[in-house]
Amino acid sequence: KDMEEKHLSSMFSGNQHTSQPHVNNVLEEVKNICSVLGCIETKQVSDAVKELNLILQRPSQNFHQNSETSKKGFIERVTAELSRSIYQLIDVYCSTFCTDFQPVHTPGGVSRVHAGLQSHLSFTVCSLHNVPETWAHSYKAFSFSCWLTYAGKKLCQVKSCRPLPVTKSFSLLVNWNEIINFPLEIKSLPRESMLIIKLFGIDSATHSTNLLAWTCLPLFPRQESVLGSRLFSVTLQSEPPIEMIAPGVWDGSQPSPLTLQIDFPDAGWEYLKPESEENRTDHEEPPRECLKHIAKLSQKKSPLLLSEEKRRYLWFYRLYCNNENSSLPLVLGSAPGWDEETVSEMHAILRRWTFSHPWEALGLLTSRFPDQDIREVAVQQLDTLLTDELLDCLPQLVQAVKFEWNLESPLVELLLRRSLQSIRVAHRLYWLLRDAQGEAYFKSWYQELLAALQFCAGEALNEELSKEQKLVKLLGDIGEKVKSASDPQRKDVLKKEIGSLEEFFKDIKTCHLPLNPALCIKGIDRDACSYFTSNASPLKITFINANPMGKNISVIFKAGDDLRQDMLALQIIQVMDNAWLQEGLDMQMITYGCLSTGRAQGFIEMVPDAVTLAKIHLHSGLIGPLKENTIKKWFSQHNHLKEDYEKALRNFFYSCAGWCVVTFILGVCDRHNDNIMLTKSGHMFHIDFGKFLGHAQTFGGIKRDRAPFIFTSEMEYFITEGGKNTQHFQDFVELCCRAYNIVRKHSQLILSLLEMMLHAGLPELRGIEDLKYVHNNLRPQDTDLEATSHFTKKIKESLECFPVKLNNLIHTLAQMPALSLAKPAPQTLLQESCILNKTRTIQRVTILGFSKTHSNLYLMEVTCSDNRRSLTKKSFEQFYRLHSQMQKQFSSLALPEFPHWWHLPFTDSDHKRIRDLSHYVEQVLRGSYEVANSDCVLSFFLSEHIQPTLEDSPFVDPGENSLDKSPKVQLLMTYEDSRLTILVKHLKNIHLPDGSVPSAHVEIYLLPHPSEVRRKKTKCVPKCTDPTYNEIVVYDEVLGLQGHVLMLIVKSKTVFVGAVNIQLCSVPLNEEKWYPLGNSII
């Protein structure tokens, strides 16, 4: 430094004429230095340059000859000041930004803040450097405003009252040099307070004030305040996301074209952690009603869902909250503020709290809790999770990094340490961080975390990840080329580009699949690769398995679609399935893999042998979506053996129930028959979660998704085996309600996982309303009985929603041109049909009798050409539908006349129908060979055969005697606080006196009270021998069960069906029980 000062002063030792070129050289050097440092020119540098020019402009005779007051002395003094200013600028620049150079030593700085204001937050906003020329032309003046925020909330705002124009020096800048005083004491500020500075321009033409740029910084980055003069890079992004403001939202350590200079006091503001006081023992036990109210409020599960009043109530009784009646995120989230006393109390609660499960701590990592002590405790809890459990919440933990105070936090340390312990964690974390590179904010933090992961991962894993990244890039390039090509050329483009994949595998030999690191691939099956005809033109890629015993692996690669929402939906569904499995309930769920590998691209796992419901509908003709037996017929065609058919029926029974529950809770929309898939083994599953949380598509202002979820009459038809086993529907309802109640126990986990993704930028998960939607569907405040009644109503709503079928029909018609190109599936069905025709020709059908006690079914013996015999049951309506189907399929052939109802006499109609139907069947089988051996006739008589001896149904409780055909009612009763609650579940085996099917409702009387006071009534279920109700009846002010009798009467309109009297003192409470129905009222 001293040498430079001497060099500078020697340049000015001559006369004025020789000094001027040297001055220009010096100024040029200073300008170059400022340019290298981001065109930043501090006030000290500007003042020294101005003073130097003024000295040179003064005549020499105006100076004294004294060495100190001579021209040379002035030049030496100004030169020293200029040199010191340059060194200060270099020091400030290097201490602010990441650089590859440092000053030799650090000069002393000068604080610009008034000494008397240091008890309050105060600093000087100096200048804005390197203002763009376009701004200087468009805006006549510039101003700023300062905000203090904490946990996404604004604490205070101070506006600049002096808009100033741009000034020109080495570059364009705005010199405010304005002292900002906040009316807040420093000691009252939370440790995690953030300062936001917004820059505004006043438009020269319209005089309006426009937001141009902003920056932010933590006040206490390392337990101490920011000191001295600092530079801050400024982002030109739009309005700062106040709810997401955290140190990582904008990386100020990287220089930007626009730089803001702020001078803070040199005396530090040290943050003093408040001391907590344990003061629990002085409080009396609250009333029982208070504890009940706490438990009721805690059913909201998230503080976001509590009103201000309810949060105040919960905080007031915080000392009586524990893991049995509340949750820690709810209690701490109800705190009224973040002052010293409140923070002290929060830390005291934190220390004495016992977590019911590590999952409870997830809610403490949301944006609502920036406190580092709280987040550290949460991470300690999550560190106890098993690897599989950690993987279940890894996307949320990656999002939680946004709200950490720095990248040396316990959460970051946990992610890196667990990645070293598990390849699966490391692999998943790698692709989550890769995907996060596309986020608008926090991008630099994710880049640094990814670099840290790769540093820890080691050479071998990094080499594998590099291969996967190259594979993804190749597929992305191929996808873009196929998508941009014209329709006739896409096939040729794909064939040509597949060659680059083949070259890739020649070079690297093997590569792990990004979708699943357990799968290793070694090549491409060129002939099996294709593309789909949708808008995004996704690729279907089939890889050759490196395991010689393994099958080829088919995936879909999408370029142009954001798969992060699908990933989240499938993650939550997997969490629900895990909850069922933990309860010993296997819902036969298929949750396929999905991985977003970058902005709008990623992999989707293809489920083998899966067909869309739309294709199944199309195979049944144009009105396939409107037919009842479409699904049943398809499964019959693919499961000829009785064992296979029953297994498929069971798999469908469970998987359909599971998907009804998950799609209802998540509000999955855009449910048409192209988004529902079936496997031949009976598994049903949904695809495409681009619309969820109730964000339904509209057509002409009308919602396309009108049903709570997809459960249609054709699904019920298959489950009940064409209406023959209506009790299977009761079992289905019971299974759905059981699965629903199991998931509801995990409401807090599901809501926490969703809340932590609120700031992920997903299109349909944006705010509190989306959380409220899921909360309202989970209904955690309901009892199991109330939830059972609620979900049963939703099943019935879905079953009766005809617009679902209409939507499927419209979608099938719209997709016909695309579906008609898919020839292999119809050929497969035809081949199977031909095999069926040759090997299972029917020789004779004999109608053995008619049963009024089993849904009016005709029992038939079917004899095949190989003399094998089987029994089947059909209703008259099913015969009629068979005839209608044959009329449509064989319109050019003469068919036998069907015995319609008007052909029958008014007496002895059942026996007459047996004779007429026998004659009709005989004519069909002896008539046209094409008709007798058609698929519809063979399926009608052969696909639903029964055993001569009845067997227990796989859906009915094995302990119940299936031979018992007596009428009965199933009830569940509870009694608490003088309230009698009755859940009317099901009726079984009920008929009218003439044997016909009733439309029954249940009337309940609590005796000995007057009937007009204690009469309750359920809704009517039309035309059903085994109706399901799941309706709740409540009697208040029942002071005791002794002496009370519950009289239950079943009626069909006004016709008596059955009744039972129940002595309440002998009723097993909280248990389901069947009660026999008598044939008279006592």
The rounded Cα 396 to chain-centroid distance in angstroms is 10
Q: What is the CA radius of gyration of the chain?
A: 39
Average pLDDT over residues 505-511: 93
Count the neighbouring beta carbons within 10 Å of the beta carbon of residue 32.
11
Spell out the SS3 assignment of 906-925.
Answer: CCCHHHHHHHHHHHHHHHHH
* The pLDDT of residue 82 is above 70: yes
pLDDT given at position 902: 47
Average pLDDT over residues 27-45: 84
> Whole-angstrom Cα distance, residue 557 to residue 479?
8
> Whole-angstrom Cα distance, residue 755 to residue 330?
13
pLDDT (tens digit per residue) in 717-733: 999 988 888 899 999 99
The CATH number that applies at residue 674 is 1.10.1070.11
pLDDT (tens digit per residue) in 480-506: 999 999 888 999 999 999 999 999 999
**Residue 252 banded pLDDT, cuts 50, 70, 90:** confident
**Phi, psi (5° rounding) for residue 803?**
-55, -25
Task: Mark residue 1037 as left, alpha or beta (left: phi above 0; alpha: psi -120 to 50; beta: remaining).
Answer: left
Average pLDDT over residues 4-10: 48
- Please indicate, yes or no, if residue 782 is contained in any of the structural domains: yes
Task: Mark residue 693 as left, alpha or beta (left: phi above 0; alpha: psi -120 to 50; beta: remaining).
Answer: left
pLDDT (tens digit per residue) in 42-56: 888 888 888 877 777
The sign of the CA dihedral 820, 822, 828, 831 is positive
Query: H or E segment at 1028?
Result: strand 1028-1035
Contact 328, 350 (CB under 8 A): yes
How would you classify the pairing of strands 1045-1052 and 1000-1007? Answer: antiparallel
35 vs 793, more confident: 793
DSSP-based three-state secondary structure for 750: helix
- Please indicate, yes or no, if residue 414 is contained in any of the structural domains: yes
pLDDT (tens digit per residue) in 975-1032: 998 899 999 999 999 999 888 899 999 999 998 876 566 789 999 999 899 999 999 9
pLDDT given at position 352: 92
**Residue 464 banded pLDDT, cuts 50, 70, 90:** very high
Contact 145, 188 (CB under 8 A): no
Mean per-residue pLDDT of the chain? 85
Together in a domain, 385 and 395? yes
Cα–Cα distance list, 385 to 330, 399, 421 (Å) = 21, 18, 13
* The pLDDT of residue 199 is above 70: yes
Q: At what angle do helices 935-942 and 876-889 cross, to 10 degrees?
A: 160
Specify which residues 864 forms β-bridges with: 842
Give the single-character DSSP code of 709. S
DSSP-based three-state secondary structure for 904: coil
Contact 258, 231 (CB under 8 A): no
pLDDT given at position 85: 85
**Residue 62 banded pLDDT, cuts 50, 70, 90:** low
Specify which residues 857 forms β-bridges with: 851, 875
pLDDT given at position 63: 53
pLDDT (tens digit per residue) in 186-197: 888 888 999 999
Count the neighbouring beta carbons within 10 Å of the beta carbon of residue 113.
18
Together in a domain, 928 and 915? yes
Which one of 248, 263, 278 terminates a domain? 263
- Please indicate, yes or no, if residue 611 is contained in any of the structural domains: yes
Average pLDDT over residues 590-599: 93
Alpha-helical (H) ranges within 890-996 are 909-926, 929-932, 935-942
Contact 401, 446 (CB under 8 A): yes
Which one of 263, 282, 312 terminates a domain? 263
Give me the DSSP letters along 98-159: --S---SSPPPP---S-GGGTTEEEEEEEEEES--HHHHHHEEEEEEEEEEEETTEEEEEEE
Which one of 211, 237, 263 terminates a domain? 263
Q: Which of the residue ranges 123-127, 563-567, 598-602, 816-820 would you say has the lowest mean pLDDT?
A: 816-820
Together in a domain, 41 and 126? no
- Please indicate, yes or no, if residue 296 is contained in any of the structural domains: no
Contact 893, 930 (CB under 8 A): yes
Together in a domain, 77 and 202? no
Q: At what angle do helices 564-582 and 642-666 cross, to 10 degrees?
A: 120
93 vs 403, more confident: 403
* The pLDDT of residue 774 is above 60: yes
Average pLDDT over residues 360-380: 94
- Please indicate, yes or no, if residue 861 is contained in any of the structural domains: yes
Together in a domain, 85 and 123? no
**Residue 8 banded pLDDT, cuts 50, 70, 90:** very low
994 vs 378, more confident: 378
Contact 637, 829 (CB under 8 A): yes
Together in a domain, 471 and 431? no
Which residue, chain included where needed, has tokens 């329709």? 487
Triad 847, 850, 853: Cα angle to 5°: 150
Average pLDDT over residues 208-213: 93
pLDDT (tens digit per residue) in 937-989: 888 888 666 654 433 333 433 334 456 789 999 999 999 988 999 999 999 99
The CATH number that applies at residue 529 is 3.30.1010.10
> Whole-angstrom Cα distance, residue 566 to residue 690?
7
The CATH number that applies at residue 1049 is 2.60.40.150
**Residue 871 banded pLDDT, cuts 50, 70, 90:** confident
pLDDT given at position 4: 46
Average pLDDT over residues 188-208: 91
pLDDT given at position 98: 78
- Please indicate, yes or no, if residue 1001 is contained in any of the structural domains: yes
Contact 421, 414 (CB under 8 A): no
What's the token pair of residue 877? 């309506």
Alpha-helical (H) ranges within 485-563 are 490-508
* The pLDDT of residue 132 is above 60: yes
Contact 731, 956 (CB under 8 A): yes
Together in a domain, 660 and 803? yes
Q: How many domains does the chain have?
A: 7
The CATH number that applies at residue 850 is 3.30.1520.10
Average pLDDT over residues 665-694: 94
Together in a domain, 549 and 568? no
Helix, strand, coil % in the chain, rounded to nearest 5: 45, 20, 35
pLDDT given at position 418: 97
Together in a domain, 548 and 594? no
The structure's pTM equals 0.82
Together in a domain, 247 and 390? no
Question: What's the one-letter identity of residue 776?
Answer: N
Task: Please state, for a pLDDT cut of 90, what percent of the chain lies above it.
Answer: 52
Selection from 1018, 1019, 1020, 1012 nearest residue 1048 by Cα? 1018
pLDDT given at position 817: 57
* The pLDDT of residue 757 is above 60: yes
* The pLDDT of residue 65 is above 80: no
pLDDT given at position 577: 97
- Please indicate, yes or no, if residue 305 is contained in any of the structural domains: no
Together in a domain, 15 and 121? no
Average pLDDT over residues 517-528: 94
pLDDT given at position 827: 33
- Please indicate, yes or no, if residue 328 is contained in any of the structural domains: no
Together in a domain, 167 and 219? yes
> Whole-angstrom Cα distance, residue 280 to residue 283?
6
Cα–Cα distance list, 1043 to 363, 1039, 1063, 1064 (Å) = 50, 11, 8, 8
Cα–Cα distance list, 420 to 378, 415, 488, 738 (Å) = 21, 9, 49, 40
* The pLDDT of residue 242 is above 70: yes
Triad 537, 542, 546: Cα angle to 5°: 150
Task: Return contacts of 207-211, CB within 8 angstroms, 24+ apart.
Answer: 209/143, 210/139, 211/238, 211/239
Task: Please state, for a pLDDT cut of 70, what percent of the chain lies above it.
Answer: 86
What's the token pair of residue 648? 């498929």
pLDDT (tens digit per residue) in 880-925: 888 888 888 887 788 888 886 544 443 345 556 788 888 889 888 8
Q: Which of the residue ranges 176-180, 240-244, 392-396, 796-800 would you say has the lowest mean pLDDT?
A: 240-244
Domain that holds residue 891: 839-942
pLDDT given at position 590: 94
> Whole-angstrom Cα distance, residue 468 to residue 482?
21
pLDDT given at position 567: 96
Count the neighbouring beta carbons within 10 Å of the beta carbon of residue 659.
23
Average pLDDT over residues 562-568: 94
pLDDT given at position 915: 81
pLDDT given at position 277: 56
